[in-house]
Amino acid sequence: MDYEKLVKVMRHLALEGGDRIMEIYNSDEFDVKVKSDDSPVTEADEAADALISAGLRDAFPDVALVTEEQSGSHSQSVDTFLIVDPLDGTKEFINRRGDFTVNIAYVENGVPVRGVVYAPAKGRMFFTQADGTSVEEDGPFDKETVGTVRQIKVSQPDNSELMIVASKSHRDQATDDYIGKYGVKDMTSAGSSLKFCLVATGEADLYPRLGRTMEWDTAAGQAVLHGAGGHVVRFDDHAPLKYGKDGFANPFFIAHAPGVDLKEA
């Protein structure tokens, strides 16, 4: 894979998809439908998916593509592939909260190695560079030219005073019980893959997820976190979270800075 080309294409398509999403977000009303798994989907999900998928297929015709909004892509058995969630945080979008993102990632041998997470309503952009290190780019964003970037790094956590980030829409008692095993300084909530990015920038130390997610929800965020020095492990045995699983469904997981003393499930 030509990582220079990959990063340029992913960043460009994330910005294009974000522009299309914001056009719909800022309109007076938009269509919301319900998928077969009872999750919501909007015209913004579908419009961004069509744009991003076409761009990736054009640039990388020989690389498998998995995308949330194209169910036909979910039956593939692959361990190296592009993966897209065109609008992660659809509930945040519908409720006109800004915590939704465009996620594009490249998985190589079961590991997300490059990715971009773009939060168009918040004006935040995180991506892995060609060398694998992660940066946050300052806006306003130009599609053709990368602006000012700052390398991001995970925290050096104090295990007696951890910063925890949890889901805004999927918080439950099991998550609270697990968080209760740690010494917590403060907690914050965020929607979509921004939770990974908060760990990647050192704004949080730990993000436990005890709930259903799919690989397209997590791949880009995990790539960004890896590039900032962080880890994502399974909740049950703390083994690295791998990709290309049957049906692309994830087990429960924990994203964390390396210095966090992980507690048993």
Sequence letter at residue 101: T
Q: 90 among the known binding-site residues? A: yes
CB contact at 8 A, 221 and 103: yes
Q: 85 among the known binding-site residues? A: yes
Q: 46 among the known binding-site residues? A: no
Asked if residue 251 has a cis previous peptide bond (ω within 30° of 0), the answer is: no
Q: 88 among the known binding-site residues? A: yes
Q: 49 among the known binding-site residues? A: no
Determine the Cα–Cα distance for residues 230 and 224; give it in Å rounded to an integer.
Answer: 9
Determine the Cα–Cα distance for residues 250 and 146; give it in Å rounded to an integer.
Answer: 32
H/E run at residue 33: strand 32-34
Q: 87 among the known binding-site residues? A: yes
Closest CA to 105 of 186, 255, 1: 1
Determine the Cα–Cα distance for residues 243 and 112; give it in Å rounded to an integer.
Answer: 7
Distance between start and end Cα atoms, the chain? 37
Residue 4: CB atoms within 10 A of its CB come to: 11
Report the length, in residues, of the chain: 265
β-bridge pairing 81-88 and 101-108:
antiparallel
Report the greatest alpha carbon distance in the chain: 50
Q: At what angle do helices 3-25 and 43-59 cross, to 10 degrees?
A: 160
Tokens of 129: 């560079």
Angle at 168 between CA 165 and CA 172, to 5 degrees: 85
Q: Which residues are annotated as a binding site?
A: 68, 85, 87-90, 217
Q: Which residues are annotated as a binding site for substrate?
A: 68, 87-90, 217
Q: Which residues are annotated as a binding site for Mg(2+)?
A: 68, 85, 87-88, 217
